[in-house]
Amino acid sequence: MAVASKTTARTDAARAFVDAHGHAEAPDFFSISDLSEEFAITHRAIRFYEAKGLLSPRRLNGARIYSRRDRARLHIIVRAKSLGYSLEETKDYLDLYGRQGEGRIKQLEVSVHKSAEMIAELEAKKRQIDEKIEELRLINRVCRQKIAQKRAKNTD
Amino acid sequence: MAVASKTTARTDAARAFVDAHGHAEAPDFFSISDLSEEFAITHRAIRFYEAKGLLSPRRLNGARIYSRRDRARLHIIVRAKSLGYSLEETKDYLDLYGRQGEGRIKQLEVSVHKSAEMIAELEAKKRQIDEKIEELRLINRVCRQKIAQKRAKNTD
DNA sequence: CATCTGGTTTACGTATACGTAAACCGTGCC
DNA sequence: GGCACGGTTTACGTATACGTAAACCAGATG
C-alpha cells in the first residue's frame, strides 16, 4: 500500500504546486488539510465558508489551493467565530479587510468609519468580559474563604 | 377602552404582588415584560431560557414573578450570549454562580478550579479581541493615509 | 357583558453552522 | 491493474436559539 509521507499528502498536481512555492519554513500555499489541521476545524467547515463567500481559493485540477492571504482570512474567521460573531458579520469584516486601502475617497471614508465603529464595539466587548471576570474572581474568593472556614472548624 | 397605565401592565395578581414589594426606585420583583424591556429581548426568549433550565422564577396564578436574583441571572445570560457563549455553557456558568459558597469542601474546590479556568479562558478571549482591534487600527490608519495621499494628488 | 390587555401553553417553522454519508475522480505505488 | 489516499460534489440530517401563530385565561374597563 502507498505509505503516505509524514507531511500531509495532497492531490498530486496541487501538491506539486504547493511544494514548488515556499521553502519549508515559510510556505506560500496550503492545502485544505493543512489549514484544517492548523486551525482545528473540518474540511467541511472550510468549504462551507467558501460557499458562503468568505473564502475563494484558486483551484488546480479541482483541488483548492490556499494562499497566505486566504489563510489570514480563515484565521480571522476562526477568531471571529470564537468571539461570537456570525459568518454574516465576519463577511462584512472581511470585505473591509480585503479592500485595505483600495477604492475611491468615498469608499475609504466609509472604511475609516466602519473600522472605528468595530473598534468601539470590541472595546465594549472587552468591558463585558471584564465584568464577567470580576464576577468569577468574586466567586473564586468566596469559595476559597468558605473552604478555609470549613477547614478551620473541621466541619468538612 | 382600557387605558394602559404608563408602567407595564401585568396579570393582576402578579401586579399586586410586584407592586407590594419594592418601592419605586428599587423594585424587588419583576414581570416578564419588565425584564424583556430592560434587556431588549422577547418574552419568548426568556421563557425559552427557563425551559432550558437557566431560570426558574416563582409563579403566581400562573404568571411568572422574577426576583432580583432571577434578574441578575438573566443579565448574565444576555451578556454571555453577546460574548458568543451557548446557553449550555452559560448554564454551567450559572450553576457555579448559583451555589456561591455552598456545598462541601470537595464541591467548593471544584468551583475554585472551574472559576479559575473560566477566568483564563476569558483572558484569552480578551487577547483575541486585542488582536482584532490591532488589525482594525491598521486598516483605519492605512485608509486615512490613502485618503491623505489622494487628497494631495487630487486624483479623487 | 363584551372587550382589551398581558399573560399562558402548545406546536410548528426558520436561520445558522455545520456533520455525515454516498459516490466520484486523479495520482502514486506495488 | 487495482487499491489506497486525498480531494471533490451533492444531498440530507442535526443542534442551537429562538420566531410566529393559535387558542386560551384572568382581571380591568367602559
Residues B107-122: tens digit of each pLDDT: 999 999 999 999 999 9
pLDDT of res. B156: 55
> Would you place residue A5 in the very low, low, confident or very high pLDDT band (cuts 50, 70, 90)?
very low
B19 pLDDT higher than 70: no
The average pLDDT across B129-139 equals: 96
pLDDT of res. A100: 79
Is B83 at the interface with chain A, CB within 8 A? yes
Share of chain B above pLDDT 70, in %: 83
- Residue B148 φ then ψ, to 5°: -60, -45
| Residue in B129, B134, B54 with CA at minimum distance from that of residue A82 | B129
The average pLDDT across A114-133 equals: 97
CATH 1.10.1660.10 assigned to B10-83: yes
Q: Which residues of B6-45 are buried (b: 16+ CB within 10 A; e: fewer)?
A: eeeebbeebbebbeeeeeeeeeebbbbebbbeebebeeee
Nearest CA in chain B to A83: B84
The average pLDDT across B5-14 equals: 51
The average pLDDT across A91-103 equals: 89
**Angle at the Cα of B65 (from B51 to B44), degrees rounded to 5?**
40
Write the DSSP symbol of residue B6.
S
Q: Which nucleotide is nearest to A88 (CA to C1')?
A: C16
**Angle at the Cα of B25 (from B19 to B28), degrees rounded to 5?**
50
Share of chain B above pLDDT 90, in %: 76
Whole-number average pLDDT of chain A? 87
CB atoms within 10 A of CB B139: 23
pLDDT of res. B17: 66
B96 pLDDT higher than 60: yes
CB atoms within 10 A of CB B107: 15
Nucleotides of D under 7 A from a protein CB: 3-9, 16-20, 26-30
| Of the partner residues B122, B132, B144, the one whose CB lies closest to the CB of residue A79 | B132
**In this complex, do A115 and B84 lie within 8 Å of one another by their Cβ atoms?**
no
Name the residues in B6-45 having a C-beta closer than 7 Å to nucleic acid strand C: 8-11, 14, 31-33, 43
Q: Domain limits of chain B?
A: 10-83
Q: Please give the grid coordinates belonging to residue B87.
A: 446557553
The average pLDDT across B70-84 equals: 97
Strand C atom within 7 Å of B51 CB: no
The average pLDDT across B94-118 equals: 91
In this complex, which residue's CA is closest to the C1' atom of nucleotide C2? Answer: B1
Residue B148 CA and nucleotide C20 C1' are separated, in Å, by 53
> Would you place residue A1 in the very low, low, confident or very high pLDDT band (cuts 50, 70, 90)?
very low
Which residues of A fall within a CB distance of 8 Å from B97?
A: 135, 139
Is B153 at the interface with chain A, CB within 8 A? no
Q: Please give the grid coordinates belonging to residue B125.
A: 478571549
Strand C atom within 7 Å of B69 CB: no
More confident residue, B30 or B26: B30
Rounded to whole angstroms, the Cα distance separating B142 from B137 reads 9
Amino acid letter, residue A129: I
The average pLDDT across A25-32 equals: 88
The average pLDDT across A138-156 equals: 89
A8 pLDDT higher than 70: no
Whole-number average pLDDT of chain B? 88
CATH number of A12-98, picked from 3.40.720.10, 1.10.1660.10, 3.40.50.1820, 3.40.50.720 = 1.10.1660.10
> Would you place residue A19 in the very low, low, confident or very high pLDDT band (cuts 50, 70, 90)?
low
Q: How many residues does chain A have?
A: 156
